[in-house]
A = this chain, B = another copy of it.
Amino acid sequence: MRLPTLIPLAIASIIHTATGAPAPTAPSSVITTTKITPSYWRATFSDPPFNIQGNAFFRDFYTLVDEITSDPNVKVVVFDSNSKYFFSTHVDLINTLDPDLYPGNPRYWDSITRLAKAPVLTVAAIRGLTYNAGAEIAAVLDVRFGSKEKAVLAQYEVGFGANPGGGGIELLSRLAGRSRALEVVIGADSIDAETAALYGWINRAIPDAQFEKFVDKFARRVAGWDHSAIAAAKNLINGRTGFPTADEQIESFNSFLKADAPGGLVDRRLKAMAAAGMQTNLNFEENFGREELKFVGNGPWNA
Query: Chain B contacts of A298 at CB under 8 A?
Result: 37, 224
Among A58-66, A94-102, A179-187, A280-288, the stretch that binds chain B is A179-187
A123–B187 alpha-carbon span in the complex (Å): 11
* Complex contact B203–A183 (CB within 8 A): yes
* Complex contact B230–A240 (CB within 8 A): no
Main secondary structure of the interface of A (DSSP, over half): helix
* Complex contact B224–A293 (CB within 8 A): yes
Q: A163-B236, A220-B303 are in contact. Are A204 and B200 (CB under 8 A)?
A: no
Give which listed residue, B186, B197, B204, B230, contacts A186 with CB less than 8 A: B230
Give which listed residue, B169, B186, B204, contacts A222 with CB less than 8 A: B186
* Complex contact B187–A200 (CB within 8 A): no
Minimal beta-carbon separation of A43 from chain B (angstroms): 18
The verdict on A9 contacting chain B, using a C-beta distance below 8 Å, is: no
Query: Chain B contacts of A187 at CB under 8 A?
Result: 218, 221-222
Query: Chain B contacts of A220 at CB under 8 A?
Result: 303
* Complex contact B224–A296 (CB within 8 A): yes
Mark each residue of chain A from 170 to 181: 1 if its CB lies under 8 Å from any CB of chain B, else 0.
100111011111
The verdict on A158 contacting chain B, using a C-beta distance below 8 Å, is: yes
Interface size on A, residues (CB 8 A): 73
The verdict on A297 contacting chain B, using a C-beta distance below 8 Å, is: yes
* Complex contact B236–A251 (CB within 8 A): yes
* Complex contact A188–B236 (CB within 8 A): no
User: A204, A226, A229 — which one has the most chain B CB atoms within 10 A of its CB?
Assistant: A229
- A residues 184-242 touching B (CB-CB < 8 Å): 185-189, 195, 197-200, 203-204, 217-218, 220-226, 228-230, 232-234, 236-242
The verdict on A248 contacting chain B, using a C-beta distance below 8 Å, is: yes
A57–B232 alpha-carbon span in the complex (Å): 28
Mark each residue of chain A from 249 to 279: 1 if its CB lies under 8 Å from any CB of chain B, else 0.
0011001001100000100000000000000
The verdict on A161 contacting chain B, using a C-beta distance below 8 Å, is: yes
A182–B162 alpha-carbon span in the complex (Å): 32
Query: Chain B contacts of A185 at CB under 8 A?
Result: 233, 237
A197–B17 alpha-carbon span in the complex (Å): 44
The verdict on A143 contacting chain B, using a C-beta distance below 8 Å, is: yes
* Complex contact B229–A169 (CB within 8 A): no
- A residues 47-93 touching B (CB-CB < 8 Å): none
Give the 8 A-B CB pairs with smallest separation, nearest first: A224-B297, A178-B241, A173-B240, A163-B233, A158-B229, A163-B232, A161-B226, A143-B183
* 19 more CB-based (< 8 A) A-B contacts, given A157-B229, A225-B296: A143-B183, A158-B226, A158-B230, A159-B221, A164-B233, A170-B240, A173-B241, A174-B178, A177-B200, A178-B237, A182-B234, A182-B237, A185-B237, A187-B222, A189-B221, A221-B303, A223-B297, A224-B299, A229-B259
